[in-house]
Structures are given as structure tokens and as C-alpha cells.
Chains A and B, each alone.
Chain A
Amino acid sequence: MNLVLMVWRQESQQAEGRLQRIEAKDISPEMSFLEMLDVVNERLTLAGKRPIAFDHDCREGICGSCGVVINGIPHGPRPGTTTCQLHMRQFHDGQTIVIEPYRAKPFPVLRDLIVDRSALDRIMAAGGFISASTGSAPDGNAIPVAKSKADAAMDAAACIGCGACIAACPNASAMLFVGAKISHLGLLPQGQPERWTRAENMVATMDSEGFGPCTNVTECSAVCPKEIDVSVIARMNRDRIGAIFLVARRSLASDNG
């Protein structure tokens, strides 16, 4: 099939960007979206032009590297699917496809479709972990975990950190991403000792990185390639309230101390 691509081209973070029209001819419906871009890039290279820069790695929907906005939707039209697993059979001959990078203030464009998502790592560094140093663990079966809890933790832990939720949100909120990690760790007994401080610190970093608030649009969950449920945001808010009580208890303790 023959397609017309409207692709965001931007030399660097400082440069101005624009949409460029590129024709993509003889595209097989069996190709993945990224394979289509590979073909376009080989043709651009042979024509002496600059290929389109885009992030990608595993190409099996799990590393979270890829992710572009396709006709206005992060990861494109098929629900529960990353860009790398989207296939061209989802499009039709003659279609115009607009391809843009994620748009969010905390995600500056580095080049073309590549954005800097290091803000997500900084949020994780604020508390997205359980402090279990190597060697200190008890036997794996020492603490039973109810299957329902383990399953719910796994549902939340499936997040691949691609950032589509943020790109889809009108407020560029990172609450689905943060809520997923807070839920994953907060549901498990191992995550309890740091539960309240984790929520407090991750949310504070999320705010300081420039991500917006949640206004219950739920676009985040709709575009999530792993279909993480918005209930993780409710859980995050519950743990933040817990954190507020913790702060109150701390200040009481110091008043009394």
C-alpha cells in the first residue's frame, strides 16, 4: 500500500521543528509500524537525505523505548499495543499518517521523534523501590502473599515506563506511571515499611519535574499499551493521605519530643 507520512522533524532540542511530508510507497500490511519507518529511512539514506530519528529497541512491546504519537494517539489506533507491535494492516492504502513525538513539557524533544524521558527515572529514584540490600533477604516463602494481592501487584507492575500516559493527558500528568509503581510496591507486604514515604517523595518529585495534576480524563489508561487501570491513581492518592498523617504524626512527635 502507499501512504503519506507527515513526520515531525527537529534537528535538536534547541532547533525549531516542523512537519515534513514524506511518501511511503509499497508498504506491506505485514510490516510493523517501525519496520515501515525502517524502509522509509533506508530510502531517505540512499537519496542522501537525513533519516528519521526514533527510539526503539526490543520491538516486542516490553522495553518501553518506542512510542510516537500516531494520528493524535500515543502508540496509535490499536488499544493495548505499543508502536513496535502495531502492524500496517491497521492502516489503509492512501492514508495520511501524522507522526509526532510525545508532547509534554517534562519531555523535551532531542531529535525528530526522540524525547528525553529521564524525568521518569528521577521520579523512580525518589522512592520507587524497596530498600532490600543484597544478602539481607529471608526465605522467599517466609512471608506468604495472598494470590489476589500478588496478582494485583503484577497488574500494576506491568508498566513499561514508555510515557504514553503522559503524552495522552491534557495536563501531562504522570499519575498513572507513579500510581502504578506505588500500587505495585504498596500492595505487597515487603513494600509496607516505606509505603507512606514512597508516595510522599515520588509525588513531590513528580510535581517538581513539571508534570501536571490529574483531572480524571482517563486518557492515560486508554492509551496505556499495558492497559494499566486508573484505579492505581486512587491508590496513590490514598497513600498520599497516609503520608499526610505520617507527617502529622512526625510533627506531633517532635512537638512532644
Chain B
Amino acid sequence: MELKSNAPSGPLDTAWSRHKFEMKLVNPANKRKFNLIVVGSGLAGASAAASLAELGYDVRCFCYQDSPRRAHSIAAQGGINAAKNYQNDGDSVFRLFYDTIKGGDFRSREHNVHRLAEVSTNIIDQCVAQGVPFAREYSGYLANRSFGGAQVSRTFYARGQTGQQLLLGAYQALIRQIAAGKVTMFPRTEMLDLVLVDGKARGIVTRDMVTGKIESHAADAVILATGGYGNAFYLSTNAKGCNVTASWRAHKLGAGFANPCFTQIHPTCIPVSGEHQSKLTLMSESLRNDGRVWVPVKAGDGRKSADIPEAERDYYLERRYPAFGNLVPRDVASRAAKAVCDEGRGVGPGGRGVYLDFADAIKRLGEGLIRERYGNLFDMYERITDENPFKVPMRMYPAVHYTMGGLWVDYNLMSTIPGLFVLGEANFSDHGANRLGASALMQGLADGYFVIPYTIGHYLASGKLGKVDEEGPEFKRTEAEVDERMKKLVGNKGKRTAASFHRELGKLLWDNCGMARNAAGLRAARERIPQLRAEFWSQVIVPGSGSELNQALEYAGRVADFMEFGELLCRDALERNESCGCHFREEYQTEEGEAKRNDDEFAHVAVWEHKGVNKEPVRHKEPLTFENVHLAQRSYK
């Protein structure tokens, strides 16, 4: 497996401009002759499909939801970063670049991150032009808020629904191209495999989720914008349908999978309420701007929050990290919450929770202003927990939220399979070992609006692509394989539901490959997963048939892929003998319990090559060099 980053040489700050000039172009009249497939319609997919269609390409876009507007980007709450420096507080492209590299604990590629910071400003302009109703000051100018891991205010937001508004902007751009006949949309259609012809990605095989029909779609290039794999853990903040299938299928055909163990645990989610729990709900990180995190000083303190006097409260983030206080990055905040709960100081049922208290902010700013800032989040919290955060502190606990790992891509966002591009959360490129708040929306839109429109043209113009069609043997063979897998699942006469297997896998991963990991636990999980996978295939029960709307079958197929993927997740975590960002190995920590990196041995991207199920995958390395940022231990104290 060759891992050439294809990042331009020379000075960093002009690299993207030079690269844009050096890339080949497709003549405007020829663009319509190229067929492109975009899988996924979230921020990355919808923005890519719309922008490519505007350029003149012939685009087909696929999503499993009933409408492209429902992709899970819609649930992002807090905001989107951009180096506009509208606040005159010292922000710059270089500072956003620096914060992102540092926030990612020096495990991302400098060139990709710098480009991200550069185009961040264009994203805001583009979204404003589309009618995204960003928050504004009374002057009529755009408002900003601050976010974890940064000391400048660079986050743009639309109440607590920023993801929704940005996605609707991208969806509206997409639907305009659908109306213009430049994009053909396939909703309720799930990609079940990738098709290679002569080693290049030339199409996909899908299942129509209403009729069950298995179909092939040929193209000149395939773009995956299929999101992250957080649902491997069963309980996460992802939508129920989010899955790893598209990425995993591509991986099995030769796409390198990078840093799967970099999974972000978000510090502020509503705690689990019982066995029936089907998903976890995040409360935006922006709440930490005004909320203070605390637990009782005494372990096992059973008193109500109001009965605990100030002196007996431990505002542990403010105590441990005076410079950043409640606004430390997500990985640091999550681990700190786990630590106090492990000490028996957690609050709420089961003792897995910490308080996020707004009493001081309400006293200082008034209930009205707090309602204006976070009203919808407070309402949501009350609907779920039946507690009013204006009266009692919120209870929070970390939950799986985002995956920094993903398919490996070069500077052009192309995977190790020629013609297969990967955008947004599905790729690994920009966030290193930890993503900063309000950076996921930025990356999804950067990839879709401002990177792929250039880089895909370069690929299409660079080499001759032979003609392929859906009748070719590669397509027919893949269709038959997909069909067989479906038949195997529905034909099984088992005793356990796919959900019960998924819950068991999720618990195994959360316990052994969650917020804190150690070699013994990871080894145990890695050994258990193949057994669980075998049990799944022999015991799973999937009602109905493949030729109808069958949600149980859709789900079982996704769980089957998580069963294979989970093993790689643990393997990667076991091989990375250091702590960095969200990847916290208990064996590697400082005396104060902070993550201890090992730059000598692990300043690289781990890229896995698939060699077959139940076979040892091969671990490749892409070395990371830091020429513009000094490699240093992160400190938020």
C-alpha cells in the first residue's frame, strides 16, 4: 500500500494556491461527460454534489434517509469555526491552523489543516449568501461565540441549531441542482458495496430500501461522504442509521483505514437512563461557556445539588485547568469527568454524571439572556429528563460522538483506491487525535464546497478512463455477492435480534476501547469480537424477506459490518502505545494523569490494509512532520 500524501512542497501558506494552479482542469464543455457518484447527503455530500453539478458534472447522489435534508449533520448544535477575525481578538488563518493541530494533539497533516483554516472564511461567506440565518449583533453584523480549545471567539452559530441551518443551506443548493436536472437523487437507497474496474473505483451497488431491489450504478469516480462509525459503540450521539458499511466495504476492497482508534467522546451528553436506551443526546459544548462543571467534594454525597454548600463543591475543571477552565478541549473534559465518577463522586442514578450548573450565569446575566442563548437546549434537556435546568443543574456524562479516524486520503482527498474520494467525517484527515468543537461543520463544508471541486477535476483530467457500464462482469459479480449476503441474513433461523448483538458489541467496545484503554482490555475485546461475530452469523434472526421494505434487514447488515470493524478498532488502539488526544492508554500517562504522547515512535498515521476477514491486517505508516508548529505537550493549565 503506497501512502503518498501528495501535499505540495514549499511554504505552507501558499501551498493550496500553488496546488490549485498546478492541478489539471477539465474543459467546461467536457464536464457534463463525466458521471460522478456521491454517497451521503450530509454537509460534505450535499455541498459536494451541489458544487460539482454547478460546475457541470453529471452527478448522482444517494442517501438512506427519505430526504437528503435529514442527514445527521443536521443535529450539530454549537457552531462552525472560521478565521474571520471579525472580533479583532487576534485570530488569523495561522492561529486556527495552530489551534487545530495542537487540539488534535499533533496527529494530523499540516498541509490539510492549513488549507482547512484558509477556506474556513469562504464557507461563512457562502453560507450567508445561501440565506443561512446566522446569529447577528444589533448592528446587523455576524455574531461569534467562543468554544473549547481556543482563546479567540471565532465560532459562528445559528442558535443551537447550526448544523441544521448549514445542512439546509447545502440541501437547498443540492435541490436546486436536482431541479435543474444536474443531480439525480436516490433517497432511501443504501450503498452496499463498491465496484472496482481495473483497480479504479467505477461504481457502487445499492439496495432500494422500499422495494429491496439490488442495483448497480457505474461512474467515472465515486465520492464517499458517509459519516463516521460512532455507532459501533451502539450508544452514541449519532443517528440510529449512521453506519460504517460504505467505508468498510471500500476498506475491504483496498482503501486504507486510518487511525480507527481516534474516537471522540463528547463530555456533555445526557446520562443513560436505563437498559432500553437507544441513543444518547448531546448538549452543545457551547453550554460550557456559561455553565460551571462540578461534583461534590465528598465521595458518595447523596444530597440534592441545592443542599451542597459552595465549599463542598469541586469545580474540578476550573481547579485543574485555570487557564481554560470549563472550556478545555473535549478529550480533557471527558477524562476529567470519568476520573471524578471513578472516585465515587459522580451524581445522579448510577453515579455516572457531573453537574453543569447555570446558577451563576443566570444570576450574572439574567434568565432572559440565558434563554436566548440556550433556550432550545434547555427545553430539550427538560423533555428528556423531566428536570428544569433553570432550577437545577444539568447532569452530564461523556458519550461517543465523533470519529476522527476514517478512510485514509491524500491531499486531494483521494483514498488508496484511485477514483475513490472520501469527504467529511468519513475521512481521517484534519482533526488528528481529537477534534475541536465547531470544526466538524467547517471540515465537511470545506471538503465539499472548496476542495473536491478542484481535486476531482485533476483526477479526471489526468488519465484516460475506459468506458464501463452496469452490465460489466465486475458489477454483476458484486450484485450477486450483495444478494447472497442479504439472503444469508434473512434465511437465518436464529434466536437473537441484531440489536442484542449490537448492544453486546457496543458494551464491549465502550468498556475496553472507550475513554480509557489498556492492553489487557483491548486484547480481551479483540479476542471476543471474532467469537461474537461467529455467534451473530449463526444466531441472528432477521424477519421478513429481502424483496420488501425491511428495516430489520437493513440494520442487521450494518451490525454485521460493525462486527468486523470493531476488531480493527481495538487492534489499532492496542498497537498505538501512547496516549494522545482522545486515545488514552492507561499505561501512558504523566504523574498528574495527563496523556503522554510518544512522538519518537508514534508521530505517524496508522493505516490499515485489509487482508481478509479473520486474517491479520497490515499496519502501514504515514510519517507526520511538523515544520510550522513546534511539537509540544498540550497544556491547558
Contact = CB atoms under 8 A, between A and B. Distances in A.
B133 A42 contact: no
B141 A141 contact: yes
Interface string A136-161: 11111101111100110110011011
A57 B136 contact: no
Interface string A26-61: 001011101100110010011011110101111111
Contacts of B136: 144-147, 150
B386 A87 contact: yes
A191 B386 CA distance: 40
A47 to B, nearest CB: 10
Interface in A199-222: none
A165 interface: no
Contacts of A38: 276, 278, 499
**What 9 A-B pairs have minimum CB-CB distances, sorted nearest first?**
A144-B140, A137-B129, A129-B172, A132-B129, A125-B179, A137-B125, A154-B133, A153-B133, A134-B51
Given A63-B239, A118-B66, A32 B278 contact: yes
Interface stretch (A93-101, A108-116, A247-255): A108-116
Interface in A113-137: 114, 116-118, 120-121, 124-126, 128-137
Given A87-B386, A145-B140, A128 B172 contact: yes
Contacts of A9: none
Interface in B167-191: 168, 171-173, 175-176, 178-179, 185, 187
A190 B129 CA distance: 6
B539 to A, nearest CB: 12
B131 A85 contact: no
A185 B549 CA distance: 36
A65 B240 CA distance: 11
Contacts of B122: 135, 137
B88 interface: no
B551 interface: yes
B593 interface: no
B568 to A, nearest CB: 26
A78 interface: yes
Interface residues of B, number: 83
A91 to B, nearest CB: 14
B129 A138 contact: yes
Nearest to B140: A144
A188 B72 CA distance: 26
B377 to A, nearest CB: 11
Contacts, number: 219
Q: Of A28, A86, A137, A160, which is in contact with the most chain B CB atoms at under 10 Å from its CB?
A: A137
Say which size band chain A's interface belongs to. 35 or more
A186 to B, nearest CB: 10
A12 B131 contact: no
A85 B75 CA distance: 14
B384 A130 contact: no
Contacts of B544: 50
A184 B86 CA distance: 25
Contacts of A110: 210, 549
Contacts of A132: 126, 129-130, 173
A64 interface: yes
Contacts of A140: 84, 124-125, 127-128, 134, 142
B2 to A, nearest CB: 32
Contact of B172 (A35, A56, A124): A124
A41 B128 CA distance: 44
Interface of A: 11-12, 28, 30-32, 34-35, 38-39, 42, 45-46, 48-51, 53, 55-65, 78, 80-81, 85-87, 89, 110-111, 114, 116-118, 120-121, 124-126, 128-141, 143-147, 150-151, 153-154, 157-158, 160-161, 184-185, 188, 190-191
B379 interface: yes
B155 interface: no
B67 interface: yes
Contacts of B185: 121
Contacts of A141: 84, 86, 141-142
B92 interface: no
Given A35-B278, A143-B128, A144-B139, 11 more contacts: A65-B65, A87-B384, A125-B176, A125-B179, A129-B172, A129-B176, A133-B173, A150-B134, A150-B140, A185-B131, A191-B131
A55 B543 contact: no
B549 A134 contact: no
Given A139-B125, A150-B133, A124 B175 contact: yes
B50 A134 contact: yes
B241 interface: yes
Interface stretch (B16-24, B103-111, B158-166, B507-515): B158-166
Contacts of A45: 497, 541, 543, 552
B453 A121 contact: no
Given A134-B50, A154-B158, A64 B69 contact: yes
